[in-house]
Amino acid sequence: MMRLKQALQRRFHVPNPSGGCMDVPVGMIPFSNTRSGKEYADSIIKTKLGRALLFSIIVLIGLNWLMIILFGFTNILFSIGAVCLLFGFSIKIAKINSLVPLVVNLNHPFMESGSVAESQIMVKFADKWIDPGNNRLKLAKNNLGHWIVHRQDNDLSILSIWVTNQKESILNNHLLIINQAISLNNAVNESNNEFDDAREREAQESALLERNWLPEEEIEVQGPISRMFSNE
């Protein structure tokens, strides 16, 4: 519990896929720190490592063959060092590719802790964190070659420019996760709103039941004939 409070009180520093760091707003948790984020990162790294391993073997064989042709001998240590550098670079690229510019609060379903208040998410496509809203997002490229993030509303309004050097396939994967986060965010908040409305209706019904109604025997209705007899 103490660690959770400390995490909420400090600002996270997450590497930015475009370079530098992303300062995470207080009370928000990077997607990479959630269970879903860690699973996504593991899948990216495993895929990258498999390809890197295969490529490293090819490079190792190629270097040894080239050194034998050029110098008449081979240097195993040099070849292994080159392969290790290549392998380390591949891991670094994989970690960068797994960083989704998304943060959530404790009430979001990605945290798997149950919602007790409003769920919130924020995204960072440029220089600051913003609320993406309730609409799903769509990626497009303008005439200048810049990536533009559009809301999928009636006007396809622009949310932000996406400052990044990553491939389109990586960006589409990130946007897929962000859209899932938006959908889950909407579902949780709509459920909370329905619960609040039901609780308000219940309170109103309880107030009606608790109202002091006049007993039926105290209500005296006299017509013309009854008044004639009562006067007598």
Distance from the first to the final alpha carbon of the chain: 82
Residues whose CB falls within 8 Å of the CB of residue 135, separated by 6 or more in sequence, listed in order: 151, 152, 153, 182
Residue 167 main-chain phi, psi, to 5 deg: -70, 160
The answer to whether 127 and 161 are in contact (CB under 8 A) is no
Residue 74 corresponds to which amino acid? Answer: T
Average pLDDT, rounded, for the chain: 77
Angstrom distance (rounded) from CA 75 to CA 184: 55
Q: What's the whole-model pTM score?
A: 0.68
Task: Report d(CA 19, CA 85) in Å as an integer.
Answer: 20
More confident residue, 214 or 111: 111
Length reported for the chain: 232
Task: Tell me how far CA of residue 10 lies from CA of 13, 27, 135, in angstroms.
Answer: 10, 8, 30
pLDDT tens string 19-51: 444 588 999 999 999 999 999 999 888 887 777
Dihedral sign for Cα atoms in the order 199, 114, 40, 101: positive
Using only the alpha carbons of the chain, give its radius of gyration: 32
Higher confidence at residue 46 or residue 173? 173
Q: Which residue has the higher pLDDT, 143 or 229?
A: 143
Q: How far apart are CA 190 and CA 206, in angstroms?
A: 24
Neighbours of 97 (CB within 10 A): 20
What does the pLDDT look like over 120-159, one tens digit per residue? Answer: 999 999 989 999 999 999 999 998 889 999 999 999 999 9
The pLDDT value recorded for residue 84 is 79
